[in-house]
Structure 1
Amino acid sequence: MNGEIAVGFFRHGTEVPIVRHEDAPPVRWDAVSVRSTADGRDRRRPVSALDDTDAATLVRSADPIDVGTTAGSADRTIRPYLFECDTRELSLFSDGSFAAHAWVQPPALLDRETAPGLWEAYLAVAPSIPTVREDTDHGASYVSLRALETLRDRAAAAAATGEGYDSVATTARELCRARPSMGVVRTRIDRVMAEADSDPGSVRDRAMKACAAAVRADEAAAERAASRLGDRVFTLSRSGTVRSALEAAGPDAVFVAESRPAREGVGIAERLAETEAETETETGNETGTDVTLLVDAAIEGLLADGTVDTVLVGADTVLEDGSVINKVGSRTAMRAGTAAGIDCYAVCSRDKIVPGTEFDPEFGPAAAVYGGEADLAVYNPTFERVPPPAVSGIVTEDGVYGPDEIGPIAREHALYRRWDG
């Protein structure tokens, strides 16, 4: 056995980089090697190949995989790690470490000559139905991308091994049920299945196109939202699309509610402040965006006193009647903003518009609110409905829609559900 190799899949959007080494066969591709060290409790932790200028977050790791390059032998042991990257411009691709690199969606590994076990290593850390179902840290856009990746990878594996369509369809159905309050998950999965032929290869190809389109849709929606923002903006929770819009617009001030009990707003406030500091360091100029974190109970008072001129929230789902489903606190913010004459926008991809008007709420764990021993109940809803009159507009990649313009789009999306009878 040649020992253990730790490799990192550095995901940006729905793609990962693969590399060619100078001393490897000229057409063979591999993942980026990382150093893996053990702490005092004998748990393995990666040391990233990136330098301090790169933003990469460890998502998950997996147990080592033994890979046999010859019959009956395990010549290569791989310990895989999955990272999330904010950019494709990584330092390790500019320092001459590799002969070449390419960003690909992982099923492309099956179409290239790669180091042994690379596809299996990726699958060990890839998104799955459980990770989609259990993700309470990210918004619907992010979760829907992971759902598309799960379907894409399952279809690719089935196509490679000659499995039938039924196993892929079962995965699609389970993904559609995984996050009932995130309508975009079902819309995107339904569209792939409706537009694909009844074979795994076709589903794989449609899912790969859907992954790329979803990334572009979120970017375009953020650009449209940025053009609508005033100088002093309020937001809450953690939406990647909202964050992108704020970073693009560069308002004078951003007010972020902490969004208890998980306090997702703290993370986006920190990120906005860090981005501001990095910009000032690079340019030598103060851009003037002040970031303020506030307690949730202060939302209504802040919006009533004239401090803010735009409310911008994400949307986990937009219902057929124009209601917006989003993190608890959104209803208070948008109703208070509307009462104060403030523009109140929800920004999301068009795929988040779903048929029907029923709202199936998700609830967070009781322990996140109360860990004592008293005999009491805990009410901890994750999402809530914002009524149409409180919504000035829903900003998507295709335009800004009033709540009364949502119905036809929702009914269009309902047609995709016909793939399942």
Structure 2
Amino acid sequence: MADLRVPALRWAEPPDGPVLVLLDQTRLPADEVELVVTDVPGLVAAIRSLSVRGAPVLGLAGAYGVALAAARGYDVSEAARLLAGARPTAVNLEYGVRRAVAAYEAAGDGSARAAAAALAEAHALFREDAEASARMVAAGRELLGELLPGGRFRILTHCNTGALVSAGGGTALAVVRAAHEAGELRRLWVDETRPLLQGARLTACEAARAGMPFSLLVDGAAGSLFAAGEVDAVLIGADRIAADGSVANKVGSYPLAVLAKHHGVPFVVVAPVSTVDLATPDGAAIHVEQRPGHEVTEIRPGVSVAPVGTQAYNPAFDVTPPELVTAIVTELGVVSPVDHGTLAEVCSRSRSTKS
């Protein structure tokens, strides 16, 4: 994040060998602490603990993880398997791994040249992500102007989709920030995003540092905001978009889509084309990650808010069907109406880079 002292992710090469340096997002907003990752198991642990999170930056972590394994002489195939499975719903993670592995294998026999090729591909993906973010911001701003002429938007968002999840400004929150900088944002409504509070800890942090007018609300209060006519649009990100346009995003997104539909409010998804998985036919085929129950039953490690032995249902994501999505904003264009044909047409524009 431009307003933080350190980026979400960076490659470094100290004298004792290359490392991947991550901003530990579990420590925000209180502390900006970096994690220095020297091997793939350490990176997998950081991904699973959500020290690094968010669809685009997970793609970068996957690519750099392959480069790290290659540079340090680890088994690249095994590294790729571990990384790609660290968060199964997040398709960008697998995409980044696949890109770096393809570059590694194309370069030869596992030599230093192959390791350099994997790193070059990770760097290329980093640059592409930053460029994609800028293009999504431009497209998102234009779409908001079409959907809500007159400006002064009141936007509701869920989870965190800013610079903490990207090499650039992010996805949905980057659009909101651009609207704010243009004087078009009246109010940003920030869902707390339970149980891990990415909205309260991360989105509120980014909004505050950018000087946005924002209010934090518990997830269950969103309905009353819609009923009061206080929401002009919902903007969220995505972790996987199926071929039919079904959108997997942080759990709690689907109820917002239902509310938006009922109240006639646009529901807009902002995500790069790399988040679209045409191999997944529909929402029912999306594997939804299940998180540990203690994230629900404990307010922090060792401090329970539920009786001992309570069983918790804790899916990391939910799936919104395409008929509830007004538009999907990508770096290659806006998909609307959202269906298999319109989504495939946008994806075809990037076929050369996704092969």
The 1:227/1:409 distance shift into structure 2, 3 A limit, reads: closer
Residue aligning to 2:165: none
**Which residue is 2:72 aligned to?**
157
Letter in 1 for 2:334: V
Q: Does 1:247 align with 2:177?
A: yes
Closer/same/farther in 2, CA of residues 189 and 416 from structure 1, 3 Å limit:
farther
CA contact (8 A) 2:59 2:95 kept: no
Change in CA separation of 1:124 and 1:393 when aligned onto 2, cut-off 3 Å: same
Equivalent of 1:145 in 60, 63, 72:
60
- Change in CA separation of 1:317 and 1:125 when aligned onto 2, cut-off 3 Å: closer
Between 1:169-178 and 1:372-381, the stretch displaced more is 372-381
Tell me the amino acid that sits aligned with residue 381 of structure 1.
P
Cα offset, 1:226, TM superposition: 3.4
* SS of 1:292 mapped into structure 2: strand
Match of 1:238 in 2: 160
Q: 1:332 aligns with which of 255, 260, 272?
A: 255
Amino-acid identity (%): 26
8 Å Cα contact 1:137/1:264 also seen in 2: no
Task: Establish whether residue 391 from structure 1 lines up as the match of residue 312 from structure 2.
Answer: no
Structure 2 distance, partners of 1:306, 1:409, is 33
Counterparts of 1:198-277 in structure 2, within 5 Å, are 198-200=108-110, 201=114, 202-229=117-144, 230=148, 231-240=153-162, 241=170, 242-250=172-180, 251-267=185-201, 268-276=203-211
The structure 1 residue matched to 2:95, chosen from 179, 187, 190, is: 187
Partners of 1:170 and 1:415 lie apart in 2 by: 27
Residue of structure 2 in register with 1:134 after alignment: 49
Larger RCO: 1 or 2 (CA < 8 Å, sep 6+): 2
1:59 matched to 2:34? The reply is yes
- The amino acid across from 1:271 in the alignment is E
8 Å contact from structure 1 (residues 14, 149) kept in 2: no
Q: CA deviation at 1:16?
A: 5.7
Q: Deviations over 1:36-56 (max 9, x none)?
A: xxxxxxxxxxxxxxxxxxx98
Q: Give the conservation status (yes or no) of the 8 Å contact 1:152–1:208.
A: no
Query: Any idea what SS the aligned residue of 2:286 has?
Result: coil
- The answer to whether the Cα contact below 8 Å between 2:245 and 2:321 also exists between their aligned partners in 1 is yes
Q: How does 1:27-42 map to 2 (within 5 A)?
A: none
**Structure 1 residue 256: Cα displacement:** 0.9
SS in 2 for 1:208: helix
Aligned to 1:319: 242
After superposition, the C-alpha distances for 1:244-297 in whole angstroms (9 at most, x for unaligned) are 222111011111111111111112123312321xxxxxxxxxxxx521111111
Find the counterpart in structure 2 of residue 168 from structure 1.
Answer: 76
Query: What's the CA shift for 1:224?
Result: 2.6
- Measured after TM superposition, the shift of residue 218 of structure 1 is 2.9
TM-score by length of 1: 0.62
1:177 correspondence with 2:85: yes
* Structure 1 residues 408 and 188: alpha-carbon distance in aligned structure 2, compared to 1, 3 A threshold: farther
- Seen in structure 2, the aligned counterparts of structure 1 residues 233 and 416 have a Cα distance that, compared at 3 Å, is closer
For 2:190, what is the secondary structure of its paired residue? strand
Q: Which residue of 1 aligns with 2:312?
A: 378
Q: Give the Cα separation in 2 of the matches to 1:208 and 1:56.
A: 27
For 2:194 and 2:311, the matched residues in 1 are separated by: 17
**Deviation per CA, 1:308-334, whole angstroms, max 9, x where unpaired?**
111100111111110110011111112
* Matching residue within 346, 356, 367 for 2:294: 367
Alpha carbons 1:129, 1:147 under 8 Å: kept: no
| Cα RMSD, aligned residues only | 3.4
Q: Residues 331-359 of structure 1, C-alpha deviation per residue, up to 9 Å, x if partnerless?
A: 11122112222111111111000121311
Structure 1 residues without counterparts, runs of 5 or longer: 1-9, 20-27, 32-54, 61-81, 83-121, 277-288
Matches of 1:157 and 1:256, distance apart in 2:
42
Superposed displacement of residue 385, structure 1: 0.1
* 3-state SS in 2 of match to 1:178: coil
Say if 1:141 and 1:56 are closer, same or farther in 2 by CA, change over 3 A: farther
CA distance in 2, matches of 1:255, 1:170: 43
- How big is the shift at 1:384? 0.3
CA contact (8 A) 1:147 1:185 kept: yes
| Alpha-carbon shift at residue 186 of structure 1 (Å) | 1.1
Q: Deviations over 1:338-394 (max 9, x none)?
A: 222211111111100012131111223222222333554211211000110111111
Report how many residues are paired: 298
The range that moved more, 202-211 or 176-185, is 202-211
Are residues 126 and 13 of structure 1, via their aligned partners in 2, closer, same or farther at CA, if it must alter by over 3 Å?
A: farther
- Equivalent residue in structure 2 for 1:310, among 233, 246, 257: 233
For 1:391 and 1:326, the matched residues in 2 are separated by: 12
Greater Cα offset, 391-400 or 225-234: 225-234
In the superposition, relative to structure 1, how do residues 215 and 123 fare at CA in structure 2: closer, same or farther (>3 Å)? farther
Matches within 5 A, 1:17-166: 57-60=32-35, 82=36, 123=38, 128-135=43-50, 138-158=53-73
Paired letter, 2:197: R
User: Which SS does the other structure have where 2:85 is aligned?
Assistant: helix
Corresponding residue SS for 2:269: strand
TM-score by length of 2: 0.73
Asked if the contact 1:334–1:386 (Cα under 8 Å) also holds between the matched residues in 2, the reply is: yes
- Aligned to 1:252, the other structure's residue is in SS state strand
| Maintained 8 Å contact 2:91/2:275 | yes
**1:14–1:211: 8 Å Cα contact kept in structure 2?**
no
Contact 2:269–2:328 (CA<8 Å) still a contact in 1?
yes
Change (3 A) 1:264 1:391: same
